Structure 1
């Protein structure tokens, strides 16, 4: 069992079964799914634009845009494209930083639903985008400093058990905290504020799909790789389940917002309270 801040166990799992796949394309399935994820996210950004009265429309588009950046980087980091080591380190730094920033934006999307600040305004987008950028830069620097050995501070993490507490907190622990808080906040919003139950099917589905992806990536991956003689591993299924989780998340958000400005009584801006019309 890995200790706190240690990545050695993950490295060992990968070394037990190196992915061979197709020559020059180690993980073609992931590359194809990343392309699909980018296309689907682009479509959801367009569909979000059509929901003029929806709470958090711009914030949702910001989240989807960050997810696109994650998938672009994943093509080069997980996809196994034949690129130079220094270039791959660069993509890895951006990839990890974008993942952490995306989870932070996800959490703030839940806060947007409470209308503490008016959504879609320069202030709201500035606070979300600005704070996400700070997290992106901080995580990216630690990752790149580790890989390129700029300062030498993280050089010890390059040797087993690969202990890097800062990166472990930002890449492993922080996203887990962010996504947990997101589901708590959204569940309270739907069940207590909006007093709805149906949207929870989408939210629960998104949580289940995301969890399945992580299980395939961290637990089952080495077994799939061994069984297929290195042709595929759990990253293929992790990418697939993450795409499905993002789609389910979008449908959850869409189900609790209005497409157009309604003439009925609403619980809050953009939220429907059912067929209660003004007399």
Structure 2
């Protein structure tokens, strides 16, 4: 297929995009081959298999958002989650547009399709901005960072919405036959954003991380995106004819895009670690409290692990092996002042101390 800049004729003849029924003549642009439709309770559902992938994408997106939000101290947590929120909203809208639950002949179809294009523009912009969060050019998670991302994403959404709607309903110089603006915001702009994101992340991994495994996540994500473009825009008609209209390139394209989004999450998860000092969870903790005001003979030691707390008085004279449970000295437990061989203690370091019948 030969793709011309600013033209949808070749693209829409290959794959049934959401915008294709609104372009070209009054009848729209139709693909030479598309998947079978099904009828449910008197309603004809287009692209049923593709709709299943959209629904699966919503479930996967919910799982990824849950895990992102559980990493309380990870860098860029609040920024990257906006990318997945926008993706989930886009997939929800695609269910109604791909399946023609919102009919293509309806007057509101053009507005919903314009919202879909605007969401796509905002999604790729959000991904690109997240590519610079790891460089710590600004403090992540702050109101300044979040509102910059939100406002700029809203601006790109408005740009995509206005250009696409003007193309659909013929406003100004834009019309269904003059699709250069729509072609730029829907097809060219995402490729530019992905290229910038990938380059920035490769630089981030090579310059700041010792681990090179995240490069594999980037590679698999890029391959999934390229596969989606090839399957949708390159061989959709061949796939449709080969499987006798049961599926077409849209099904495999949406599936590969889902895999690419999952690799974005996998990559982000692999390069972020929680700061356990500030994390929230049921982590085991161990600490000790020394009361030096009690003198050499009275030293209180508190050791806590999880929910169990033990208290030992230094008056017994011999913690472990007749020595107090103090700091380390040359890799061994150093004695407390005056620990020595206490009551029931053993100089040999045996445990438990002979003659000691108390509980730790």
* TM-based fold match above 0.5: yes
Q: 1:18 to 1:201 in 2, by over 3 A?
A: closer
Preserved CA contact (<8 Å) 2:34 2:247: no
Distance (Å, rounded) in 1 between the aligned partners of 2:199 and 2:52: 33
Unaligned runs of 5+ in 1: 264-279
Q: What residue number does 2:159 align with?
A: 138
Aligned to 2:274: 259
Cα deviations by residue, 1:193-224 (Å, 9 ceiling, x for unpaired): 21321111111111111111111111111111
Structure number with larger C-alpha Rg: 2
Q: Where does 1:145-184 land on structure 2 (aligned, <5 Å)?
A: 145-149=166-170, 151-155=171-175, 158=176, 162-184=177-199
- Following the alignment from structure 1 to structure 2, what is the Cα–Cα distance between the partners of residues 36 and 172? 24
Paired position in structure 1 for 2:242: 227
Cα distance in 2 for partners of 1:210, 1:11 equals 19
Report the equivalent of 1:237.
Answer: 252
Q: Quick check: 1:25–1:82 contact (8 Å CA) kept in 2? A: no
Q: Distance in 2 between the 1:95 and 1:82 partners?
A: 13
TM-score, length-normalised on structure 2? 0.68
- Kindly indicate whether the alpha-carbon contact (under 8 Å) linking 1:34 and 1:72 is maintained by their aligned counterparts in 2: yes
Deviation at 1:67, TM superposition (A): 0.4
Instruction: Identify which of structures 1 and 2 has the higher relative contact order when contacts are C-alpha pairs closer than 8 Å and 6+ apart.
Output: 1
- Tell me which residue corresponds to 1:105: 126
Q: Which has the higher helix share?
A: 1
Alpha carbons 1:214, 1:238 under 8 Å: kept:
yes
Q: Secondary structure at the match of 1:115?
A: coil
What secondary structure is seen at the aligned counterpart in 2 of 1:86? coil
| Kept after mapping to 2: 8 A contact 1:202/1:248 | yes
TM-score normalised according to structure 1 size: 0.87
CA distance in structure 2 between the aligned counterparts of 1:18 and 1:258, rounded to whole angstroms: 45
Asked if the contact 1:21/1:230 (under 8 Å) is kept, the reply is no
Among 190, 194, 204, the alignment partner of 2:205 is: 190
Q: Is the 8 A contact 1:93 1:140 kept in 2?
A: yes
C-alpha separation between the residues in 1 aligned to 2:102 and 2:136?
47
For residues 270 and 165 of structure 2, what CA distance do their matches in structure 1 show? 40
